[in-house]
Structure 1
């Protein structure tokens, strides 16, 4: 069995790799070439344990992500949301890889937004806004920078000092992109100028004003994943000319951003594509520079297994990781 930590993954895998793998993962999902049972959730004494399996028929590979949510872990110097991804060898059925699931989740979640942005945002997009500077924010920023030659990215957080610290750190980390990354002190102004808006929060209310979104903008909803959470304004969902989801089953069951507008009669389930539909048929992507487009993701074990297996194959080829 090959054990891969975050440093190992970074040696063999790029954001660009992950974006392409996510596109293919969701293409296979839409084509019915995967099996994704419902997530299993156990309440433990000190937290929750979640088990997310998937089988990828096209690759003949199975895997499972095990995620725990233990809020008190930081008190003992541990991550509050530890995760691991296990893969099974297609030839023998044995566990062939144990991969850092925390880093893998950040990578594939940033990458799926990158996939949506790549397929839907204007090619000449120059200005972006990233709302939220938590644990997922760095990969979200990297994904936007990977697929579009952005000139400015405004970082907004309810904690301005945290936004400033994040912007400063990311300016150093992503200096190679030559982009101006700064903390937003006027979100309305930055939204009005934005070609790409990415919200990655667990907010129960819209994180920006939908009426400020300009023609041609692309909006990503990444953070909310329960019916109570609602970070994307309903007006944006209604206005969008193209509405795309990572998986219909997941979003229609979990994302308040989309569930509420449907329940309020603003849109119907028939008004949405899956991202896999766009990979299969690029004609379903943006057709004009005037269209407002929307991508919403809640995640799927399909992404973990496909990206994880791709990482595993590259690591094996390059001799990276620890065999046990």
Structure 2
């Protein structure tokens, strides 16, 4: 069995390829057999500590996988998020690889937002605001830079040290980029100027107000994936002309940003426009006007791990033959 390290993933698997794989997976989820049993969550001692078990199977590519991902917010000396994938080919049932999956998770989570931005944001969007500069934020920037000509990136984090680290990583990767990165200390100010907002926090309550979102903004909300947490408020939903989710099943179980207003009778899940796969397959303009505000709320879905892991494995096994 091949073990694929984080270094292997980062060296041999680009965001461009990841986005192709993720878009293909969303399309396959509507056109072929894709099994995604609902994830199992085990809660542990310690505030917010839990482990997720996420199995999935894609018939078209003949691979299945299970990702085991632990989130321990109090970790200081080791990463807060640690993930491992076991990949199985489904012709013989052979377990062909294990993958250290933190980098893969960052890439495929970013790819979801990149694809959402591709189909839901204005094509002339130039200003990106990132709310929350933790482990997932770099992948978000990479994916959105793939689909839009970003000239300014605004960063907000509760503590500025993570924003400074993210800024340094951006300039290291995009050394010839002529844009600017600004760090702000107020989330509402950070979103006011944005054409695209990425919210990737673990906040229990809204970090910014929807009243501060300007017309024409697209929002990718990928953090706080629990039914009792929401990082954006009901004003975002009430102002959005289109609300898209990665899957209805995930949204109805884990998207606190949608569930809390729904349960409070402030908004209804019936207003969800559709799944991201619907938007991809329709290949039609979702926006009715340049002033539309759009939202993609993503809690993640296991079949993306399967297709990305299979893609990486196919490439790495040839290199290591």
TM, length-normalised to structure 1: 0.90
State the match for 1:140 in structure 2: 140
C-alpha distance in 1 between matches for 2:96 and 2:108: 20
Query: Which whole-Å deviations, capped at 9, do the CAs of 1:267-295 have from their partners, x for residues lacking one?
Result: 43332210000111022622431211100
C-alpha distance in 1 between matches for 2:110 and 2:153: 16
From 35, 53, 56, the equivalent of 2:55 is 53
Structure 1 residues 200 and 45, CA gap change in structure 2 (3 angstroms):
closer
Query: Which whole-Å deviations, capped at 9, do the CAs of 1:239-265 have from their partners, x for residues lacking one?
Result: 211111011111111111011222234
State the match for 1:311 in structure 2: 312
Secondary structure at 1:177 match in 2: coil
Q: Is the 8 A contact 1:55 1:63 kept in 2?
A: yes
Q: Does 1:299 find its partner at 2:275?
A: no
Q: Which has the higher contact order (CA 8 A, sep 6+)?
A: 1
Q: Is the 8 A contact 2:34 2:303 kept in 1?
A: yes
Q: Is the 8 A contact 1:30 1:274 kept in 2?
A: no
Structure 1 residues 119 and 96, CA gap change in structure 2 (3 angstroms):
same
Secondary structure at 1:62 match in 2: strand
CA RMSD of superposed structures (Å): 2.2
State the match for 2:65 in structure 1: 63
State the match for 2:270 in structure 1: 270
State the match for 1:101 in structure 2: 101
Q: Is the 8 A contact 2:151 2:180 kept in 1?
A: yes
C-alpha distance in 1 between matches for 2:86 and 2:191: 40
Q: Does 1:286 find its partner at 2:287?
A: yes
C-alpha distance in 2 between matches for 1:55 and 1:128: 34
Q: Kindly state the Cα deviation for residue 189 of structure 1 after the two structures are TM-superposed.
A: 3.7
State the match for 1:212 in structure 2: 212
Query: Which whole-Å deviations, capped at 9, do the CAs of 1:115-138 have from their partners, x for residues lacking one?
Result: 111111111101111001111111
State the match for 1:233 in structure 2: 233
Q: Does 1:115 find its partner at 2:115?
A: yes
Secondary structure at 1:232 match in 2: coil
- The answer to which of 305-314 and 292-301 deviates more is 305-314
Q: Kindly state the Cα deviation for residue 32 of structure 1 after the two structures are TM-superposed.
A: 6.2
Count of matched residue positions in the alignment of Structure 1 and Structure 2? 318
Structure 1 residues 69 and 10, CA gap change in structure 2 (3 angstroms):
closer
Q: Is the 8 A contact 2:250 2:299 kept in 1?
A: yes
C-alpha distance in 1 between matches for 2:75 and 2:266: 42
C-alpha distance in 2 between matches for 1:185 and 1:78: 27
Structure 1 residues 71 and 286, CA gap change in structure 2 (3 angstroms):
closer
Structure 1 residues 49 and 285, CA gap change in structure 2 (3 angstroms):
same
Q: What pairs with 1:79-98 in structure 2 (closer than 5 Å)?
A: 79-98=79-98
C-alpha distance in 1 between matches for 2:73 and 2:210: 34
Q: Is the 8 A contact 2:227 2:256 kept in 1?
A: yes
C-alpha distance in 1 between matches for 2:279 and 2:236: 20
State the match for 1:248 in structure 2: 248
Secondary structure at 1:105 match in 2: helix
C-alpha distance in 2 between matches for 1:196 and 1:81: 26
C-alpha distance in 2 between matches for 1:49 and 1:313: 28
Structure 1 residues 203 and 275, CA gap change in structure 2 (3 angstroms):
same
Structure 1 residues 68 and 277, CA gap change in structure 2 (3 angstroms):
same
Secondary structure at 1:220 match in 2: strand
Q: Kindly state the Cα deviation for residue 57 of structure 1 after the two structures are TM-superposed.
A: 1.9
Q: Kindly state the Cα deviation for residue 200 of structure 1 after the two structures are TM-superposed.
A: 0.4
Give the gaps of 5 or more residues in structure 2.
Answer: none
State the match for 2:200 in structure 1: 200
